[in-house]
Amino acid sequence: MKKIILAASFTAIALTSCTPKASTAAAPSLAVSTAEQIAQGKTIFENSCGRCHKLPDPTAHTSVQWVGIMNSMAPKAKLTDEQHQWVYDYVVSVKK
Ligand code: HEC
């Protein structure tokens, strides 16, 4: 009778854990508008987007549709790139 010795291998389960990237903590980047910028977007929207037609209903279009709409309307309203961004962020922030 042979003894079977099982070599218990202690596999150090050091799976490099995918620690979530030190997420959204910092980074006041260009990507996200602040509440003030969104508030400015609302003002710009109300002042600039009701001149040629009645003020559109922000909830009438999806955020994807708004990208295209803003691309065609921002130049009509003579918005700067920043204003374009703020107005966009405002309209998509208005969700039913
Ligand atoms: C200089 C005039 C003018 C200004 C300013 C203007 N628009 Fe328009 N807008 C139009 C015209 C003309 C149309 C219809 C023809 C077209 O779609 O291009 C239109 C159409 C639209 C539509 C309907 C599009 C669709 O697909 O149903 C939306 C929504 C809209 N505008 C939003 C805006 C917003 C938001 C602003 C402010 C950033 C704005 N518009 C500023 C002239 C203007």
Ligand 1, atom 36, lies closest to the CA of 49
Q: Full-prediction pTM beyond 0.85? A: no
> Separation of 15 CA from ligand 1 center, angstroms?
54
> Separation of 87 CA from ligand 1 center, angstroms?
13
Tokens of 92: 């998509």
Series of mean pLDDT values for 10-residue runs along the chain (96 residues): 49 44 45 87 98 97 97 98 97 87
Is the CB of 71 inside a 6 Å radius of any atom of ligand 1? no
User: According to the 3-state scheme, what is the secondary structure of 13-54?
Assistant: CCCCCCCCCCCCCCCCCCCCCCHHHHHHHHHHHHHHCCCCCC
Q: Which residues contact 76 (CB under 8 A, 6 or more apart)?
A: 52
For position 76, what pLDDT does the model report?
A: 98
